[in-house]
Structure 1
Amino acid sequence: MDDFIFLLTEKEAKYKQVYQQMKILITQGTLQTNDSLPSIRKLAETLQVSRNTTLTAYEQLVAEGYIRGEGRKGYFVNALEPVFLQEQEQEQEQEQEQPVLSQPTSNTTSLLVDFRAGAVDQTYFPMKTWRQLANQVLQEPSCYQYGELFGDPLLKEQLVPYLLQARGVSTTSENIMIGSSTQQMLLYVGFLLKDHFPSVLLEDPGYNGAREAFQLHRFVIETLPVMETGAQLDILKHCQSRLLYVTPSHHFPYGVSMTIQQRQTLIQWAQQVNGYILEDDYDGEFRYTQQPFPALASIDPSKVIYLGTFSKSFLPGVRLSYMVLPNTLVQPFKERFAHFEQNASSLHQRTMAQFMAQGEWTRHIKRMRLTYKQKMQHLVQELQRQFGPQIAVLGEQSGLYIVVKVKSPLSEQQLIQRAETYGVKVYPTSPFFINQTSEDPLLQLGFSKLTMEEIKLGVERLKEAWQP
C-alpha cells in the first residue's frame, strides 16, 4: 500500500495519531507481513505534516516491533503472532466498550494501571524466533534428560564472551553455574559459605529476597546504610562481616550507581578482610544515560561472586539465572552440590544458548533498551508535569522502575490505598528497609509492561488520588 489517508485532529500530537492508526492497520491485518510502507517523505506529503512527524511515528513502530527498516529499501511490516493479534483485537473491543471514567465514588474501582516492578513488556517478546529455536532443540535427545548438574555447556560457552563484552567480566565456562533464580543461587552460596562466614553485610534499604535467603541460613545480619546519594562505605571498617551483598550497578531500590572509586573501595575491603562480595547485577543491561557500567567483578574476579539473571531482561517465566564463582570456590561448590539435580529447564537453557549464538539476544537487549528508555522518560515527564515539586524522582538513569518521594502528610499505606481507590496500583518500599526509615513516603513505580497511554492515565489518576 502506497497511499494512506488518515484523519488527523488537533487534540493529540500528530505523530502519535499516525503511529496509532498505522498500528491499527497492522494489528487488524489490513497491512500484512512484508507489505511495504510509503517513505517518510511521501507519507508526510500525503498527510500534509512535517517529515519529523512521520519519522517519529515510524521510529516508535520500529521500536515496538511492528515494522522494520531495511536500509535504502524502505520500511516493511513485521510478522505478528496470531495470538498477539487476537489479544490486540480484544483490547480494542474492550477499549471501545469501556466508558470514560470519572472520579471514583467507592473503593471497588477496578484496577486500570498496575505500576508493578519486575514485570516485562511481553509485547516485544520474540515469540516466533524463540518458538522456532525451541522446536529445533526438541529434536535433540539431550533436552529429554535431566541435563548437566551445573548448567548446559553451550549456554555457559555463550555467556563467557557476552559477560566480557557487555559487563567486562573475564571468566571461563568452568566458573559459571546455571540455576533457576538469583534467590536459589544465594541459597546455594549460603550453604557453601555459612560455616566459614557466620555473618553478612546487607544494603539497607536493599533487596528483601536476598535478606530472606540469608536469614533462612541463620546468618547474622549487619547493615550497610544506603542513602539516595549512595552507600555509606565508611562503616565497613567497623563491621565484623567478611561477606557483603550489594547491587552496585543499580542499587535496589534507590537506583543509584556506585562510582569507580566506590567500587575500588569495596574490592580493597574484600582483599583486606579476606572475604567475598556478592554482586547482584539484576538489570545491568538497562542504563539509559550512558553505556552500562562494567561489573564489580571486572575489577577483581577473585573476590566477587557475580549474580545475573535473564528474568528482568527477557521473561520471568523462563527461569534462568547464572553465577560466576571465583576460582577458589569452583571446586568446593561442585563437591558440595554434586548430588543435587539441576533445577533450571534443559530446554530453556539450550534454547537460550541458540538464541544468544544467533545474535538474537543482543538485538533483543538493544530493542528493549530503547523501548524502556522511552517509557522511563515518558513516566518521569508525566510525573513532573502533574506533580511538580510535590514529588522527587529517584533512579531515572537505569532499570525498569523508579522510586518517587512524595511530599505529603499521608503515610505510605494511605497513599497506596488512595491510589487503589482510583484504579492505580503502586508499591511500598518499606519492606526493603531493615533499620533505616524515610522521612517522606517512598513508593516504587514499575513501567516496563505498561503502554505510553497507560503510564499517562496512571499518573493522572495518582494526581487525583493524592491531591489535598
Structure 2
Amino acid sequence: MITAIFAFRDDSPKYKQIYEQFKLFIDRGDILADERLPSIRQLADSLQVSRNTTLMAYDQLVAEGYIRGEGGRGYFANELEPLISQGKVILPALKQSESLAPPSLIDFRAGAVDQTHFPLKVWRSIANQVLSLQESYQYGEPFGEMFLRKQIATYLHQSRGVKTNANAVIIGSSTQQMLINLGYILKADFPCITVEDPGYDGARQSFQLHNFMIETLPVYETGADFSQLEHSKSRLIYVTPSHHSPYGISMSIQQRQTLIHWANKIEGYIIEDDYDSEFRYTQQPFPALASIDPARVIYLGNFSKSFLPGIRLSYMVLPEPILKRYIHQFLHFESTTSLHSQLTMAKFMEEGEWNRHIKRMRLVYKRKMQQMVSQLLMQFDQTISIIGEQSGLYLLIKVDLNRSEEWLIEQASFHGVKVYPTSIYYLNNTTDIPIIKLGFSNLSSEEIKLGVELLKMAWV
C-alpha cells in the first residue's frame, strides 16, 4: 500500500507532507488516473494522524485538480496533461502570491456580523411593509429620508448624549464616501489634517485623495500622545475616540477635554468616527466627543458594524457652518444609499427593534470575546499579548515568536486559518513585534475554538 512508505519529517506540517507525497505519486504515475484513494478515515488511521490533517491534504489536492471527490464514493485521481519539453515534465511555476494553501476552514475576518442572531423575520416583515408605501416608488431626498434622520437624532441623544436635530443629520452609503464629500468642502480652509498613527487606513486614503497634507497623532496601546498637537499645522483632526482603530482603546475624559480645548483654541474641527461604540463589554459606552462640544465635532456613525455590512447605511452630524456649506455643495446630487433600506431602518428603529437588537448582540459578542480570550490564553500562554478585549468585534494579538507578520499570516493560511495584518494601519509609529487582527463576530463557539487550536499548530 502506498501509505506504507510515508515517513514524516519534523520541519513541515503533516498535512503538507501528505499533500506533497500524493502529488508526487500522481505526477510520476504511482497513482493512476481514476484510481480510488484511501478514505479520509482510512488514511488518518494508517498514518496515525487526525482526520482533519488528512482532510486538509485532500482539500488542497482537490483545489489544484490532482484529485476529485465523488459524493458517496470517495476520492479519485484525475488524469493529468503535463507540459512536455525535451522529455521532461515542466510544471508551471507559482508566483509568490499564489503559494500553496488549503481552503480556509476558519476566517477571523473583522468585517462581518453574527448571521445566526440576525433578526431576519422582523427585518423582512418591515421591509415588506415599506414596499407598500407610496414614497418607496420615487427618488429619495439628497441628504437622506427625514423619517430616518429623526430616528437617528433621537437614538444619538439617548445612547451617545449627542444633542442634535434631524436637519443636521446627513445619510450616506459609507464612512469613506462621506469623508470624501467632506474633504471636498473642507480642503480649501483646512489643507492639513492630523490622523491617528496607527489609524484607520480607509479614512487616510479618503484624505489623500484630496491631497491633504497629513500629520500624525501617535497612538500606543496605553493611549494617544497629544504632546505635539499644539505645534502642528493642522486645524482638523480625525480620531476614533471610543474604540480606537485598531488598538481598541478609549480616550479618557481628560484626553477628550484636551482635544475639545485644542479645537476651540485654533477654531478647528474634530472628525469623530464612532464606528462601533455600541459594543463595550466592561462599562457602559463612553459619551461621544460630540456630546461635549457639538459646535467643534463632526460626528460619524454607521449601521455596518452593528447591524449589516451590506446595507450600506452611514450617517454624520454636521456643525451649523459646515452643514450650510455641505447642503449648498451637494443639494443637486442624488442620495448614495438605498431609499428602501433607509425607510426600513427608520421603521425598525421606531418600533424599538434597533434597541432590542443592540442589547441582544452586546451579550452575544461579549460571550464570544470572552471565549476568544480564554482560548488564546489557554493555547499560547506567555507567547502572545492580547490587546483590545474590552470592546468591539475583534481583538489584536501581539505575537512574540521572533517571526514576521507575513510569516504568521502565511503559516496560518497553510493550516486553513485566515488572519489579518495590522501593518496597513501604520505610517511612522511602527511596532517591533508583529500584531495580528482577529475578528470573531460571525464565528460560532466551535469555530473559535478550532481556529485558535489551528493557530497554535501553525505558529508554535
What TM-score range do you get, normalising by the shorter chain?
0.7 to 0.9
- Provide the alpha-carbon RMSD of the alignment: 1.3
Matched position secondary structure for 2:325: helix
Inter-partner Cα distance in structure 2 for 1:337 and 1:231: 35
1:190-339 counterparts in 2 under 5 A? 190-339=183-332
Within-5 A mapping of 1:368-447: 368-447=361-440
Q: Does 1:101 align with 2:52?
A: yes
2:336 and 2:224 mapped to 1: Cα distance?
A: 34
Letter paired with 1:286: F
Give 3-state SS (helix, strand or coil) of 2:171's partner: strand
Corresponding residue SS for 1:128: helix
Q: Larger deviation: 307-316 or 324-333?
A: 324-333
List per-residue Cα deviations over 1:374-408 (Å, max 9, x = no partner). 00000000000100110000000000000100001
Match of 1:140 among 108, 127, 133: 133
1:198 is aligned with what amino acid?
P
| Counterpart Cα distance in 2 of 1:328 and 1:253 | 31
Instruction: Output the TM-score relative to the length of structure 2.
Output: 0.79
Whether contact under 8 Å (1:174, 1:330) holds in the other structure is: no
Q: Which residue of 1 aligns with 2:459?
A: 466
Check conservation: 1:225, 1:232, Cα contact below 8 A.
Answer: yes
Q: How far 1:260 sits from its partner (Å)?
A: 0.3
Structure 1: state its 5+ residue gaps: 1-97
User: In the alignment, what sits opposite 1:352?
Assistant: 345
Decide which moves more: 167-176 or 104-113. Answer: 104-113
Look up the match of 1:178. Answer: 171
Local SS of the residue matching 1:178 = strand
Amino acid at match of 1:245: Y
Q: Which amino acid aligns with 1:463?
A: K
SS in 1 for 2:299: strand
User: Are 2:112 and 1:119 aligned?
Assistant: yes
TM-score (norm 1): 0.78
Q: What secondary structure, in the 3-state scheme, does the structure 2 residue paired with 1:278 have?
A: strand
- Letter of the structure 2 residue corresponding to residue 393 of structure 1: I
Distance 2:228 2:126 in 1: 49
Amino acid at match of 2:327: K
Task: Return the alpha-carbon distance in structure 2 between the equivalents of residues 310 and 182 of structure 1.
Answer: 10
> Counterpart of 1:263 in 2: which secondary structure?
helix
State the secondary structure of the residue aligned to 1:244: strand
Does the CA contact (< 8 Å) of 1:199 and 1:220 recur in 2? yes
CA distance in 2 between partners of 1:313 and 1:370 (Å): 13
The correspondence for 1:364, drawn from 354, 357, 380, is: 357
Q: 1:100: how far off?
A: 2.9
CA distance in 2, matches of 1:424, 1:317: 24
Q: Are the counterparts in 1 of residues 101 and 415 from structure 2 also a CA contact under 8 Å?
A: no
The 2-side partners of 1:159 and 1:180 are apart by 15
Deviation of 1:238 (Å):
1.4
2:121 maps to 128
Aligned equivalents of 2:216, 2:244: Cα separation in 1: 14
Q: Which one-letter code corresponds to 2:179 in the other structure?
A: L
Q: Which moves more between the two structures, 124-133 or 242-251?
A: 124-133
Alignment of 1:41-52 (within 5 A): none
Q: Which amino acid aligns with 1:279?
A: E
Letter in 1 for 2:304: S
Paired residue type of 2:424: P
Aligned residue identity for 2:217: L
The 2-side partners of 1:100 and 1:337 are apart by 59
Unmatched tracts of structure 2, length 5 or more: 1-43, 45-49, 61-99
* 1:201 match: secondary structure: strand
Inter-partner Cα distance in structure 1 for 2:191 and 2:168: 24
Q: Is the 8 A contact 1:245 1:278 kept in 2?
A: yes
SS of residue in 1 equivalent to 2:321: helix
Q: Deviation of residue 118 (structure 1)?
A: 1.5
Equivalent-residue separation in structure 2 for 1:202 and 1:110 (angstroms): 37
Q: What's the offset of the Cα at 1:327?
A: 1.5
* 1:177-234 deviations in Å (ceiling 9; x for gaps): 0000000110111011001000100000000000110000000000100001011011
AA at the equivalent of 2:297: V
Runs of 4+ aligned structure 1 residues displaced above 4 Å come to 103-106
Deviation at 1:439, TM superposition (A): 1.1
Shift of 1:436: 1.7
The alpha-carbon deviation at position 141 of structure 1 amounts to 1.6
- 1:82-123 Cα shifts (integer Å, max 9, x gaps): xxxxxxxxxxxxxxxx98312866743221100001111111
Is contact 1:160-1:170 (8 Å) kept? yes
Q: SS state of the match for residue 441, structure 2? A: coil
SS in 1 for 2:304: coil
What amino acid is aligned across from residue 252 of structure 1 in structure 2?
S
- Check the 8 A contact 2:144/2:172 in 1, yes or no: yes
**2:86 match:** none
Amino acid paired to 1:413: E
Percent identity of paired positions between Structure 1 and Structure 2: 60
* Residue aligning to 1:78: none
Q: Which deviations, in whole Å up to 9, do the C-alpha atoms of 1:131-170 show, x marking residues without a partner?
A: 1111111111211111011110000111111101111100
1:399 alignment partner AA: G
Q: Which amino acid is 2:401 matched to? A: S
